[in-house]
Each structure stands twice: as structure tokens, then as C-alpha cells.
Structure 1
């Protein structure tokens, strides 16, 4: 009964000063983690005093998710609030008052506030999804336009991503990139390389805390390399013209040879 009294008293005290608390220019600390990781929102306290009470909120002043009272030697997490998004994920460090969130999900992204007798702290938590590995494939939509080219057209793609940047690199040099801030979107980035290219290329997807890289193997993706593809456009045209001239010359020689043969036969008859 005494524990409940102290908890209610503290909650009432907090509610009375709610408007002032949220209006105060308290510095917000940014924290980022990858989905599935655990994160600790550090109270900054090395030890709690006998009369200390700590309240943790999420989102707004009405969403109380944890309470610690040293006086009553009690701590409570309310992980059934907000559609139970914190179910079995909240822990409290009773010595410091820090809040621990385990097995984080993107739905845990938001503003957290610690309020005690002597301190107010705010944290902006961002939970990023696990990044997929970029997939590099042949860009078949460009085959027709590259029929007389020495270039192989490629496409780097990722699906169901958000708040990421997709980039092509040649060695350590950035060639091109595209960024998106939306959630659950598909991205593709094209690249053209020469069939006989010897440089190293890679496609990289990254967010502020992690990245995934796929290295390009030209020999596997650009398998077909007809003679007309492996030379420049001008050289290909020259070769075609030379082939045509050789063909015409061959036909002319055959016609001349046939006529010469027939002329010799006529002379022998006469």
C-alpha cells in the first residue's frame, strides 16, 4: 500500500509540472541502433539517493513506461502500453535509473524522457532496419541501345528499404548515388562499364550507422561479348565496311573467272 502511495504521489507531482517540463529547453541526445540490437538510455547518474524517484516517458507526457522509487524500493515497467510494442523489452538499472530496451524494432523510434527529482533528460532514438545486400544484375532494358557499343549495362538494386543511400564506387571513388528518406521503397542505380574493364567496382547501401557492399564481377555478369561489342562503334563500322568490300571483291573475282573460262572455251571451239 505504501509503495502504491509513493508511486501515485510522484505521478501526480509530475503531471502538475508537465507543461513546464516539456517546455524547458532540455538538450536532446540522439541515439541510433540497428533493429534487433539492445540500447541503453543512460541516466547519467552513478548512484541514486534515498529519496530519488525516476519516471520514464515515451512519445508524449501521457505515455509512462517505467518508474523507479528508491524510497519504496520499487521499480515498475509498463510494457503493455502503446499496443504492447514494449512487451518483454524494457529493463531498468535500479542503481542508476537507466532504461534498457532489448530486441529493438523500428516502432521504438521516438522521443524518450527521463524525469527525476533533480534532472530531466531527453533522448531521440532511431532504430534502423537491417540493411539488405545489394543485388547487381544485367540491365536488359539497355541491350538494344547498346547493340553497337563496347559497354555492358548493369543495375544495382535493393528492396524494402528506407532512410538509406545507394551508391556505385570505382575503387574508392564515388561514381553515382541516390538517397531516399521514405520507408519500404525499392531503389535501383544503373552503371555502364566496358566489357574489357579491369577496374574494381562495388555497389554500397548505407544508413548513418551501417552499410552493405556487393563487389562487381564483370566476367560473370557480362558474359556475351560479340566482336562487334568488344570494339568501339567506329571500329565496328569500319570492319563492317571492309567485310562488305571483301565480299563484293570476291563476287567480282568469281564473275570474272567464270567469264574468262567461258571465253577460253569459245576460242577452243572456233
Structure 2
């Protein structure tokens, strides 16, 4: 910041000033009770740079923010991401964090992995629609909409439902992306082989991780199947095999040191 700067931070979804700086007057002000208290006790201003920090974010804070320094403007678009884990076969609810929908709300749920709208709500027209036959029938008879909150529930989940989901509304215009992660528990006797299953399509990029370290990568389009069996002290050396049809990973001659958390991305 410079000595004569006047800075305003505005939350554009509500067209509301949420923070203001007047360097010459040494005034640093946050308006965290506007527009509806969603920023209460969450805003912090940096007195050296004028940067604005929002703590403990929720979907209500997603949207566009306008920074005005004297006559110069800059727009920030904030997307809020969440991650949930679910056991295969269970139900999962994607919650837009709306206590109650408004009369003019239009809500769309999109499965970003396939860039496909899977549910839509138009409150004024009293339309609550699920498109469960797209993109390939993986959601058939599995989608339910809550008419009070707009929440979307997916029942009887499988690995095919893992991925990114996006919520868009016409009011606050947030983008809510949710990564669904499916947990599966596998037991094996020491010395046996174990296969971690996957399903693969022609253009897939697949990554297998063990305790946050990449141990195998597949680029189906480039026909590349790579195992990194010398990582993590060589515990996987000569033990990893990739199935070129499915992308499944097999660990042979298992030991206690192979127990842990594996992630398929």
C-alpha cells in the first residue's frame, strides 16, 4: 500500500462493502455483520499490504470479490471446495448450506467429471427435476432432491459416482465443488497378493497413491503404464502390477509394511 491509498473490498454477490482501508487516516475497518452476518468474526486485514483474509470459509463465502484501490479495480472469483468420504453402497447428501430456498431460486447440480447437469430446481415454477439417465445411466434411480433445502442425495453409491460435483444458484452465484472419495477396506494375509480395483476409459488419467506418495500412473490415451516401486524405501520393489484393461493395481507378496491408506485418483 502507498500513503494515499483508499482501498475497498466488496462482496459482489450482495454488492456490499465488507472491508475498507484509508492509509492516510490509519483506518482499517471490516464490516463483518453485512450483508447477513456470514462474515462475522471471519475477516482480517493486513495493515502492510491491504490483503483480506477470510477464515473458516463455507459455501456462503463463494462468489466474486471486488478490490478497488483508488481508481484501479480487480475481481477475485472464489470457489469453495469440500471433500467427503463415503463407503461404497452408502448414501451421500450434497448440501448447498441453504437453510431454506427462496421463491426465485434456480439451482443446478452438475457432475463435473462428465460436465453434465444431473438435477435442477426452479422454485417459482415448482420444478424439481433429476436427470438420472445422464451421462451413462450411472445415476439411474439414485438421485433425490430435498424440496426445502435443495440438497441432492445419491443413494447406493459406487466408485462410478466418485468425482467433482458443482452447485450453482442464481442468488449468490457460488460454485461449490465437492470431491467424493470412496473408502473400501481390504484384508489380506501376509504373503498373499491383493488387487485394488479400478475401472478405466479410453481417455483416463489414473494415479495410485500410498500414504500420499505416487506409486503408479496410467495415461490411457498415451498408452503409458508406469509403476514407481522404488519409492518409500523400496518396499514395493518388484511387487506392483497394473492391469492395462481396468487400471487395477495388484500388490504381490504383501508384508505388514504395505498396510495403510491407498488412494485412487
TM-score (norm 2): 0.49
TM-score (norm 1): 0.48
Q: Is the strand fraction higher in 1 or 2? A: 2
Q: Is the helix fraction higher in 1 or 2? A: 1
